[in-house]
Amino acid sequence: MNRGDRRRPGWRRRVALIVAALALAFVVLAPLTSTDAAQQAGLPLLTDKLWFRIATTVAMFVVLASGWNIIGGLTGYASFGNVAFFGLGAYTVGLLVTNRGWPFLLALLVAPWSRGSSL
């Protein structure tokens, strides 16, 4: 085995890490271009609002499934209370954004306190 063959796995790993970093950057930044503020600023549209909505829904269910896996799968404790807290937080964010006109990130930060006060 010569020296060039030993370098290839490191080279492939670097390329894979670069591709993964670019894919992660696209996944994080693409939804931000579909907002109205980004469109007014003249940023190119990298994703459609439909795909942003689908990705958001999938992400919410991934978080919900992960919580269910920890509570019901790893600990063996069957409880549906976490679903109620998840729904209450989502409902709070929805109300604050649509009815009160709050920015989404601020409403997202306030939602855990609304869940805590319902206990």
| DSSP one-letter code for 69 | I
Q: What is the pLDDT along the chain (119 residues), one digit of tens a residue?
A: 555 555 566 788 899 999 999 999 888 887 777 777 887 888 787 777 787 788 888 988 998 888 888 877 777 776 667 678 888 888 999 999 999 999 998 998 888 887 665 54
Q: Is the pTM of this model over 0.95?
A: no
Domain containing residue 1: 1-44
Whether 37 is in a domain gets the answer yes
Whether 34 is in a domain gets the answer yes
Domain count of the chain? 1
Whether 8 is in a domain gets the answer yes
d(CA 72, CA 79): 7
Contacts of 108 (CB under 8 A, 6+ apart): 93
The residue whose two tokens read 């919410």 is 60
19: part of which helix (H) or strand (E)? helix 3-29
